[in-house]
Chains A and B, each alone.
Chain A
């Protein structure tokens, strides 16, 4: 069974640009969550999608958005990039029944210069 796939693995963007990251969940998983990891801040929750609907949202500005397609694949978009957006962005998928764990992809390392 293929794991969670995130593309691209690495990305360098200029301040002010926008970026789109992609996540393909494990087959059969309908929930996709996005997290931002920065040094010293751990994994900060961005949002969660389930069956194409955003079900939960973290405390990030509106520049961070996402969507989920009918095949459960998800994209995350960050507009007007800032230097502080440089981070590892992780996607996790799960069955999202009660008390289930999430499975993570390898992440996309975004560097804003």
Chain B
């Protein structure tokens, strides 16, 4: 039972354009959402998060949008750079219950020159 779903295993985007990574969740109790980035042979690193009381959070080139009614969130990277090529994991938790963090299967982003 995948509570956090990333339906696109991979995505290719031209350098300089916008990358949009999507994530859906099924557990309506999730109230805290995170994005992680992972390079090969390294552990995931935290990118950006959003609480359910917000619908947008921005940090430099990275913006996360949350649509609670659709149980959908997305990560926008603008402009995309070669170093953004990595696997991106969407994650969620019932933060107010201090619960575990559940991850999606990841989307591999390729930034094309």
Binding site for B on A (CB under 8 A): 4, 6, 33, 35, 40-45, 48, 56, 58, 90, 92, 96-99, 101-107
User: Which of B11-19, B44-52, B62-70, B78-86 is found at the contact surface with chain A?
Assistant: B44-52
Q: How far is the CA of A90 from the CA of B38 in the complex (A)?
A: 12
Residue numbers in B under 8 Å from A103 (CB-CB) = 46
Interface residue ranges, B against A (CB under 8 Å): 6, 9, 32, 34, 36, 41-46, 49, 51, 89, 91, 95-96, 98-106
Q: How far is the CA of A48 from the CA of B28 in the complex (A)?
A: 22
Cβ–Cβ < 8 Å partners of B98 in chain A: 96-98
Q: Are A33 and B41 in contact (CB under 8 A)?
A: no
Given A104-B45, A105-B43, A106-B41, do A45 and B103 touch, yes or no (CB 8 Å)?
A: yes
Q: Is the CB of A45 within 8 A of B42?
A: no
Residues of B within 8 A of A90 (CB): 43-44
Residues from chain A with a CB closer than 8 A to the CB of B91 are 43
Determine the residue in chain A with the shortest Cβ distance to B106.
Answer: A42
A101 to chain B minimum Cβ distance, whole angstroms, is 4
- Specify which chain B residues have a CB less than 8 angstroms from the CB of A48 in the assembled complex: 100
A41 adjacent to B105 (CB under 8 Å):
yes
**Least CB distance, A31 to chain B, in whole angstroms:** 9
Are A33 and B100 also in contact (CB < 8 A) when A90-B43, A104-B44, A106-B41 are? yes
Q: Which of A33, A42, A56, A92 contacts B105 (CB 8 A)?
A: A42
CB of B32 within 8 A of CB of A56, answer no
Q: Cα distance A44–B102 when bound, in Å?
A: 8
The distance in angstroms between the C-alpha atoms of A105 and B100, with both chains bound, is 17
Instruction: Return 18 A-B CB contacts under 8 Å, by A number.
Output: A6-B43, A33-B101, A35-B103, A40-B9, A42-B89, A42-B104, A42-B105, A42-B106, A43-B106, A45-B101, A56-B99, A96-B98, A99-B96, A101-B49, A102-B46, A104-B44, A104-B45, A107-B42
